[in-house]
Amino acid sequence: MIVWINGTHGVGKTTTSALVQRLLPGSRVFDAEKVGETLMDIRPGLPETDNFQHWPPWRPLVVETARRVLDYTGGTLVMPMTVLVERYWREISAGLAVPVRHFVLHADQETLRRRIEGDTVMGPSAFRLRYLEPYAEAARTWLHAEAEVVDTTRLTPEQAAARIAGAVGK
């Protein structure tokens, strides 16, 4: 099984995923962003883009990597990754060919902005702030209907992880 933890940049996917992994026996975290980082390291570089998800190889490489890891290890993969383009989500989820529990970590725009601007680990991030409106649009048009929404506006990462692990365990 795959537990996909979606949501905008800065909502707490990485932190929550690590906590979910500790709560689900036999699980591992696979951050699909690392696939994008690998593609960004190709020299000379791939065609210019503002997001590696737009590169056609990224999506099938994420699918293939996840499937191969699951074939090798079994268990559950916890995958923190923002996917806001519906076509990309459909391509990935259809290709995985294993059960996928899709969760979206959500917070209101004011809370997200405050968290991003006050991030003491990564610092304020213009990149993260740029995705607030695309996230809101995806949430309105398809994303929240496609996933189990966990509103983190008033939750700690530990509470969000407990909700996800509890839902998966049922």
What CATH code is carried by the domain that includes residue 114?
3.40.50.300
Q: What are phi and psi of 128, to 5 degrees?
A: -65, -45
- Domain hosting 123: range is 2-169
**Tens digit of pLDDT at every position of the chain (170 positions):** 999 999 999 899 999 999 999 999 999 999 999 999 999 999 999 999 999 999 999 999 999 999 999 999 999 999 999 999 999 999 999 999 899 999 999 999 999 999 999 988 888 889 999 999 999 999 999 999 999 999 999 999 999 999 999 999 86
pLDDT digits (tens, 9 = 90+) for 136-170: 999 999 999 999 999 999 999 999 999 999 999 86
Q: Report d(CA 54, CA 129) in Å as an integer.
A: 19
CB contact at 8 A, 104 and 149:
yes
CB contact at 8 A, 102 and 146:
yes
Sheet holding 148-151, edge to edge: 27-29, 76-80, 2-6, 100-106, 148-151
- How many independent structural domains does the chain possess? 1
Alpha helices, DSSP H, located in the chain: 13-23, 33-40, 58-73, 86-96, 109-117, 126-130, 132-138, 144-146, 157-169
Cis? peptide before 44, omega within 30° of 0: yes
